[in-house]
Amino acid sequence: MKLTKRLLLAAATATLLFSGTPAFADLKFGVDVSPYPPFTSKDASGVIVGWEADFMAALCEEIKEKCAFEATAWDGIIPALTSKKFDGIMSSMSVTPERMKTINYSHIYYNSAAVIIGNKSDDKDYSPEHLSGKTIGVQIATTHANYLAKYYAPKGAVIKTYAGQDEANADLTAGRVDYIMADGVTLGAYLDSEAGACCEQKGAVPIDVEILGPGVGIGIRKEDTALMDKINAGIDGLRDKGFFEANTEKWKLAGKLILPKDMK
């Protein structure tokens, strides 16, 4: 009797430890646990949906692998990749020289403008001098946070950082921050929602490619060169098939994203 109990307990523990994300997924991609619509967000049934979710599904079909998302906190997503919690990062992560010291990136699969949004009652000027003394919200560990630190903080703006983009958005709705800087497409989704009714887009910030990056790519460990080649081949394949345009049409983002065909 005792032996059976112990066996059962051991079996339960084993199934527990190795359950969770589908064990049959050969490739796991890390994604921000906070919602980032329209690219990745959890719908009410718990499945991650969005432009990027569809991209992952298509990519994995192209490279003939079984894939799954693994949610993790954004500010620890690169360490999580290097400690092998997953095989790649697919979370609208911009390619920057700083990040490339730690990880490699696949081919870029989209680019979009970084914008600042604020209350409708404020004027349209969003230059660093005008925003001096104002509070700007931003997600931590993003290129936008670095941009604000370089251009806006020295001119006297107060920067508040949040673990997730949706928390920053919530504080803009609540009025605790005056402006937010983030990717134009995700902020567009926020502005279209009920919570974003207070606010409007002030404009796109002047581009600084070194800080903001030339676009978004899949983060991969430096030593995984075979995987890198596979994924790049997959992205190129999808590009030639016109997948990106079709996907952008499906999610009604036509004109807001700069796609691989128009780059390089």
Partner 1 sequence: MFLVIAPLSELLTYGNTGYLDELIWGAVATIQISVFAYAFGISLGLLGAMGKLSAGPIIRTLLNFYTTVFRAVPELVLIMLLYYAGTDGLNRLMLSVGVGPIELNGIAVAIFVLGFVQGAYSTEVLRAAIQAVPLGQVEAAKAYGMSPITAFRRITLPAMLPYAIPGLGNLWLNITKDSALVSVVGALELANETRVAAGGTKYYLTFYLIAALFYWSISLLSNFGFSWLEHRVRRGQPKLA
Partner 2 sequence: MNWSWIAYPEYIHLLAVGLLYTIILLFGSVIVGFILAVPLGLVQVTGPAYLRIPAKIFCSFIRGTPLLIQMWLLYYGLGSIFPSIPWIRTSFLWPVLREGFYYAMLSLSLSVAGYEGEIMRGAFLGVPRGELEAARAFGMSGWKVLSRVWFPRAVLQVLPTLAGEMISQLKSTPLAFTVTVMELMGARSKISSDTYIIYEPLILIAIIYMILTFIITRGFNYLERLIPQRR
Pairing state between β 67-72 and 27-32 = parallel
Of these, 49, 163, 233, 258, which contacts partner 1 (CB under 8 A)? 163
Report the site for partner 1 in 78-97 (rule: CB under 8 A). Answer: 79-80, 82-85
Residue 192 in contact with partner 1, rule: CB under 8 A? no
In a 13 Å sphere around the CA of 56, the CA atoms on its Cβ side amount to 24
Which of partner 1, partner 2, none does residue 255 bind to, with CB < 5 to 8 Å depending on kind? none
Among partner 2, partner 1, none, what binds residue 192 when CB lies within 5 to 8 Å by partner kind?
none
Q: Does 193 bind partner 2 (CB under 8 A)?
A: no
Print the binding letters for residues 219-248 with partner 2: x by CB under 8 A, - otherwise.
------------------------------
- For partner 2, which residue of 170, 233, 258, 263 counts as binding (CB under 8 A)? 170
For residue 141, what are its two tokens?
């560990």
> Within the chain, where are the H helices?
2-17, 51-63, 77-82, 97-100, 143-147, 165-174, 184-192, 209-212, 225-241, 243-250
- The torsion angles phi and psi of 134, rounded to 5 degrees, stand at -90, 165
Among 2, 3, 20, 24, binds partner 1 (CB under 8 A): 20
Closest CA to 65 of 108, 30, 104, 29: 29
- Per-residue binder mask for partner 2 (CB under 8 A), 95-124, x = binder: ---xx-xx----------------------
Tell the burial category of 181 from Cβ atoms under 10 Å away from its Cβ (0-12, 13-18, 19+). buried
What's the closest the beta carbon of residue 90 comes to partner 2, in angstroms? Answer: 19
**Closer residue to partner 2 (CB): 220 or 259:** 220
Read off the amino acid at residue 149.
A
Closest approach of Cβ 42 to partner 1, in Å? 6
Pick the closest to residue 81 from 177, 218, 199, 176 (CA basis).
218
Give the residue from 39, 160, 31, 49 showing the smallest Cα distance to 86. Answer: 31
CA 34 to the chain's CA centroid = 9
173 binds partner 1 (CB under 8 A): yes
Cα angle 16, 76, 20 (rounded to 5 degrees) comes to 15
Query: Smaller CB distance to partner 2: residue 102 or 225?
Result: 102
Binding status of residue 71 toward partner 1 by CB under 8 A: yes
Binding flag, residue 195, partner 1 (CB under 8 A): yes
In order of 92, 136, 163, 233, 254, the CA distances from 139 in angstroms are 13, 10, 6, 32, 25
For partner 2, the binding residues (CB under 8 A) are 75-76, 78-79, 98-99, 101-102, 135, 140-141, 145-146, 149, 160-163, 167, 170-171, 173-176, 195, 198
Residues near partner 1 (CB under 8 A) are 13, 16-21, 23, 33-35, 41-46, 70-73, 76, 79-80, 82-85, 163-164, 166-167, 170, 173, 194-195
